[in-house]
Structure 1
Amino acid sequence: MTSIPEPVPRAAASLTGPEAAAVYDRARLAEVARLGLDQPAADAVLSAAVRAAAGALSLPIGLVTIVLDEAQFFLAHTGLDGWMAETHGGPVEWSFCRFAVASLAPFVVEDATVHPLVRESPPVTIDNLRCYAGVPLVTSRGVAVGTLCVAGEEPRQFADADIATLRALADDVVAHLERREPRA
């Protein structure tokens, strides 16, 4: 197995608390590498999953994200435009998904303009993101590598049934990722 170097967090001043420890966790980063998730690649199954998630929750944006130590990138997305669509991701310190990864639990933002953890994030202040619901992609080894999430430009409440739908789709995404040929 390839040795994973100790990450040098350039954004350490931005990330504090449990999400920082989770983002920089070597075992989590090794799991991302083991599954070959550290590079984006087109995938029809993942594209279908993000369309299903966005459609089921009637939101314009759906993503499968992978959270690395300094960046988050999108393995699949629907409904994005502008810089996020072009770059397929962004800095980890702007990521809402890091909170779901850190807690191994859903992270829900009904109105991003007032949420203390994300209200000053560029996706909110520049791109007008207002609502978000993400569930962690937890592998069979118990490691969160990213999220299946949805988002929109209007505040919105999420019901328990919405989160259950995302969890079911996330389980399918993880099963698919683990069936793919792992890297040596």
Structure 2
Amino acid sequence: MINNQYPAALATPARMRVLASIDFDNPQLRAALNRITARTAQRTGLPISLATLVFNTSQMAVGATGLDDTWIAASDGTPVEWSFCATMVTTGQPYVIPDARDSEQATNPLVTVDGIASYAGVPLTVSGQIVGAHCILGTEAHQFTSGHLAELASAAQEITALLQEFSDLG
């Protein structure tokens, strides 16, 4: 799904200030986020787990497991128009897609080219602003349980604390 309204909705000055305050290139932050995403993937049984920051033009994977040598790993993210997380960031609600091929995301290149077939994500909120998501993705359709969402929410609290710690907003 390509949504041209994302950039305007995601570019509020308050959100952009919070995103700009996060030292997302810090190796200690990245290593900690990678550990959390690896744990989430292991506990949920899904092959891919991300901690993302969603900007007005792009989505950055600041913590990841399961991307290996993909173009997403090499580029550190995706265009915002392809971001499943952007939908959740703009609504403030968890976003679950059991079968992406039979959803509003069916024409998304992440589905049609890269083979993403399922998604579940919860918001990451720093200084009162939803800055991104903690999500799990599958290469097959998947029915997500309340346990999956509870695991995401618990890990999202840890991720949020880390992002706050590595923010100059304190």
Query: Is the pair's TM-score, using the shorter chain for normalization, greater than 0.5?
Result: yes
**Structure 1: which 5+ runs fail to align?**
1-12
Distance in 2 of aligned mates of 1:59 and 1:145: 23
Letter in 1 for 2:149: I
2:11 corresponds to which residue?
A: 24
| 1:15 aligned residue | 4
> What are the residue-to-residue correspondences of 1:12-161 with 2, within 5 Å?
14-16=3-5, 19-37=6-24, 40-42=25-27, 43-80=30-67, 81-116=69-104, 118-139=105-126, 141-161=127-147
Counterpart of 1:15, as a letter, is: N
C-alpha displacement at 1:129, in angstroms? 0.3
Does structure 1 retain, via aligned residues, the 8 Å contact 2:8–2:56? no
Query: How far does residue 183 in structure 1 lie from its aligned partner after superposition?
Result: 7.3
- Judge conservation of contact 1:110–1:158 (CA < 8 Å) in 2: yes
CA contact (8 A) 2:21 2:167 kept: no
Residue 147 of structure 1: how far off its partner (Å):
0.7
Give the distance between the partners of 1:181 and 1:136, measured in 2 at CA: 17
Radius of gyration: which is bigger? 1
Q: Is the 8 A contact 1:22 1:101 kept in 2?
A: no
For residues 126-183 of structure 1, the C-alpha deviation after alignment (integer angstroms, 9 at most, x for no partner) is 00100011111012x3211111111010000111121111001000111111112527
Number of residue pairs matched by the alignment: 166
Preserved contact between residue 100 and residue 106 of structure 1 (Cα < 8 Å): yes
More helix by share: 2
What TM-score results when the alignment is normalised by the length of structure 2? 0.90
Match for residue 168 of structure 1 among 147, 154, 158: 154
- RCO comparison, higher one (Cα < 8 Å, 6+): 2
- For the residues of structure 2 that align with 1:142 and 1:119, how far apart are their CA atoms? 32
> Over aligned residues, Cα RMSD in angstroms?
1.8
Specify the alignment match of 1:6 in structure 2: none
Q: Which residue of 2 aligns with 1:179?
A: 165
- After superposition, what is the alpha-carbon deviation per residue over 1:83-103, rounded to whole angstroms, capped at 9, x for unaligned? 111111010000000011111
The more displaced of 74-83 and 165-174 is: 74-83
| Deviation digits for residues 56-82 of structure 1 (CA, Å, limit 9, x no counterpart) | 110110111110110111111111132
Query: Gapped runs of 5+ residues in structure 2?
Result: none
What amino acid sits opposite 1:84 in the alignment?
Answer: I
The two structures have a TM-score, normalised by structure 1, of 0.84
Percent identity (aligned) = 34
